[in-house]
Structure 1
Amino acid sequence: MGRTVKSYVVFLLLVIYGILNSKTSCAEFEVFDATLYLGKPKYLAPGIKPIRVVYRSEIWEQRDPGELPDPAMIKKIMERMSDKDVPIVIDIEHWPLTGKNDRGVQENLGKYKKIVSWFREFAPQAKIGFYGRVPIGDYWRAIDGRRKGEFEQWKAENTRAQSLADAVDALYPSLYTFYRDREGWVRYAKAQIAEARRLAKGKPVYVFLWPQYHESNRILGLKYIAPDYWKLQLETARQYADGVVIWGGYKQKWDWNAKWYVVTKQFVENLRATEKSR
């Protein structure tokens, strides 16, 4: 009887964990376009929404990026935005949030939060987040850290950055592809999304996906991943996150017949059909 009760408790805990770390089926799953393809259409397809990524190069002008930027630069960016309802993702990655130097990390967190405050000042209605800052992107600690005791260290670093998660409207973990290992990628995605859920405290979690291998891979870098691998990534995000932000295409020409786009379009069409049938 004791073993039966224990097994039942374990089962319940697993069910609860699955509920907490997966997206409810009734909520709308959003797909955003942040691609940079040359000559691409304004809207890739019905159901794919625009999003504004603000890059570091837009904010700093002839100033040490180690210091805070001139807030006037942020004001100009917001004034030029025609659609004030488009979500904003800030891509600033040069202030580290890892390591043992707690004072340095806290100073960097203060800088990130100061930039958020300026965006809110100049665009109070905007939904704001940071690309890949919280949770901290770390492939190996996310998928292999439990065995080496580094997983808890990674979680502790994420917890240390909780105040930044509290300051934004949504979390945008990066789930780019480094290797052909699909099982490893799924473990990586689930761990990153679970951490984002923990830090988000109910805020939406949108994952960044790139249909090419990350450029850090010297053999595969910038090659397009297989269509079924891309579909797996979209479906995994659909199960665990609130949406995806598709990035890539820098200095590349738009191609209506690109395999990643065909897969994405079909994925979005299926989403829309499911939503209409409810």
Structure 2
Amino acid sequence: MNRIHILVIFFFLFSFSNAHSAEKLIYDGTLYIKKPDLEKCGFLSTYTVYEHFVFDIKDAKKRSKEQLPNIDLIREQIQASKNNELIILDIESWPVTFYRRHKSVIDISKHNYLTTLQHFREEGPNKKFGYFGVVPTHSPKALVSNDGEPQYEEMQEDNDNLNELANEVDVIFPIGYTFSRNVEDWKKAVATQINEARRLAPQKKVIVYLWPQYADYGLIDKSLKLKWIEASFWRTQIEFSLANADGIIVWGGWNGKKMPWNRNASWWKILKEYLPNATYVKYSGNC
């Protein structure tokens, strides 16, 4: 092989590697007040439609499971999304797990999710949509179980039941929130969700939700609730997600009310290293 051939192959591999890394996407889903224009800091923008934005009855406990969002409110949300191409639908009150035990209820949920997605598409035909935390399912114990174990098999049955929804959305959002200091359990839970997303809909983008604080719900030690994730663990979460999925979306900035932006926060300083225009970010006073 002569020198020219070697250079051509090297250039091809280098170009492919850079193109592949450039495809990694980092979205802003934070709620902080007084934050800078994070698009200029390297984030891609999104718009989240929270459940109470589109229902006449805001309290999910007071609604019937058959009730669908108000079309007029959906239209308002599409208008409110402005130029944001990607819209995340955060409707969490329709159950989708344990299908073999609650088939009739979950069939209603699946119908609701598909119908609601259709209504959003009709109002925003040029937008892209995905559901927060619906498919794949994310039952904590199932996510750290092993292939062949009952909990794992039941999780896959739940996901198989949602196969149609996985293929109707544009983007799939696994949940990478943190419930313990066990790094390996976190990796396993996220990897399981990514693998399930790829299994159900291999052509779809998979974007992992990250939150730089420990969760405030679910199976979590009370002493950890809403504490900031350790720097090394946060870095691991970013790197693992970017290596195995198509990107990440960062949530946070809420503790009963919107929290003020802090550009000196450890989580932000670390995340900036992974943004596409990190050189610009480094010297930007606003970021």
Q: TM-score, normalised by structure 1?
A: 0.84
The answer for the alignment partner of 2:189 in structure 1 is 188
Q: CA 1:265 to 1:220, structure 2 compared with 1: closer, same or farther past 3 Å?
A: same
Q: Any conservation in 2 of the 1:47–1:272 contact (CA below 8 Å)? A: no
Q: Deviations over 1:33-63 (max 9, x none)?
A: 0100121112165321111111001011236
Distance in structure 1 (CA, Å) of the matches to 2:81 and 2:232 = 36
* Aligned residue identity for 1:210: W
The answer for the alignment partner of 1:114 in structure 2 is 115
Q: CA 1:70 to 1:269, structure 2 compared with 1: closer, same or farther past 3 Å?
A: closer
Distance in structure 2 (CA, Å) of the matches to 1:88 and 1:200 = 19
Q: CA 1:144 to 1:124, structure 2 compared with 1: closer, same or farther past 3 Å?
A: same
Q: Any conservation in 1 of the 2:42–2:277 contact (CA below 8 Å)? A: no
Distance in structure 2 (CA, Å) of the matches to 1:155 and 1:124 = 31
Distance in structure 2 (CA, Å) of the matches to 1:45 and 1:101 = 46
The answer for the alignment partner of 2:272 in structure 1 is 265
Q: Any conservation in 2 of the 1:177–1:185 contact (CA below 8 Å)? A: yes
Q: Deviations over 1:69-95 (max 9, x none)?
A: 211110111123321x42001000111
Shift of 1:148: 4.2
The answer for the alignment partner of 2:128 in structure 1 is 127
**SS of residue matched to 1:268:** coil
The answer for the alignment partner of 2:236 in structure 1 is 232
The answer for the alignment partner of 1:221 in structure 2 is 225
**SS of residue matched to 1:46:** coil
Distance in structure 1 (CA, Å) of the matches to 2:149 and 2:156 = 14
Shift of 1:170: 1.0
The answer for the alignment partner of 1:18 in structure 2 is none
The answer for the alignment partner of 2:72 in structure 1 is 72
Distance in structure 1 (CA, Å) of the matches to 2:49 and 2:151 = 32
Q: Any conservation in 1 of the 2:175–2:208 contact (CA below 8 Å)? A: yes
Q: Deviations over 1:216-239 (max 9, x none)?
A: 221101000011111100100111
Q: Deviations over 1:230-268 (max 9, x none)?
A: 110010011110010100111211000000000000121
Q: Any conservation in 2 of the 1:170–1:200 contact (CA below 8 Å)? A: no
Shift of 1:166: 1.6
Distance in structure 2 (CA, Å) of the matches to 1:260 and 1:57 = 29
**Aligned with residue 245 of structure 2, among 238, 241, 244:** 241
* Aligned residue identity for 1:105: I
Distance in structure 2 (CA, Å) of the matches to 1:137 and 1:188 = 8
Q: Any conservation in 2 of the 1:237–1:244 contact (CA below 8 Å)? A: yes
Identify the range of structure 1 (132-141 vs 253-262) with the bigger mean alpha-carbon deviation: 132-141
The answer for the alignment partner of 2:47 in structure 1 is 52
Shift of 1:189: 1.1
- Percent identity reads 32
Distance in structure 2 (CA, Å) of the matches to 1:79 and 1:266 = 34
**SS of residue matched to 2:110:** helix
Give the CA RMSD over aligned residues: 2.0
The answer for the alignment partner of 1:253 in structure 2 is 260
The answer for the alignment partner of 1:92 in structure 2 is 91
Distance in structure 2 (CA, Å) of the matches to 1:192 and 1:106 = 22
**SS of residue matched to 1:219:** helix
Q: TM-score, normalised by structure 2?
A: 0.82
Q: CA 1:25 to 1:271, structure 2 compared with 1: closer, same or farther past 3 Å?
A: farther
**SS of residue matched to 1:205:** strand
Q: Any conservation in 2 of the 1:176–1:209 contact (CA below 8 Å)? A: yes
Shift of 1:271: 7.6
* Aligned residue identity for 1:249: G
The answer for the alignment partner of 1:43 in structure 2 is 38
Distance in structure 2 (CA, Å) of the matches to 1:143 and 1:185 = 8
* Aligned residue identity for 1:43: L
Q: CA 1:155 to 1:27, structure 2 compared with 1: closer, same or farther past 3 Å?
A: farther
Shift of 1:103: 2.3
* Aligned residue identity for 2:207: Y
**SS of residue matched to 1:90:** strand
Q: Any conservation in 2 of the 1:37–1:252 contact (CA below 8 Å)? A: yes
Identify the range of structure 1 (59-68 vs 88-97) with the bigger mean alpha-carbon deviation: 59-68
The answer for the alignment partner of 2:10 in structure 1 is none
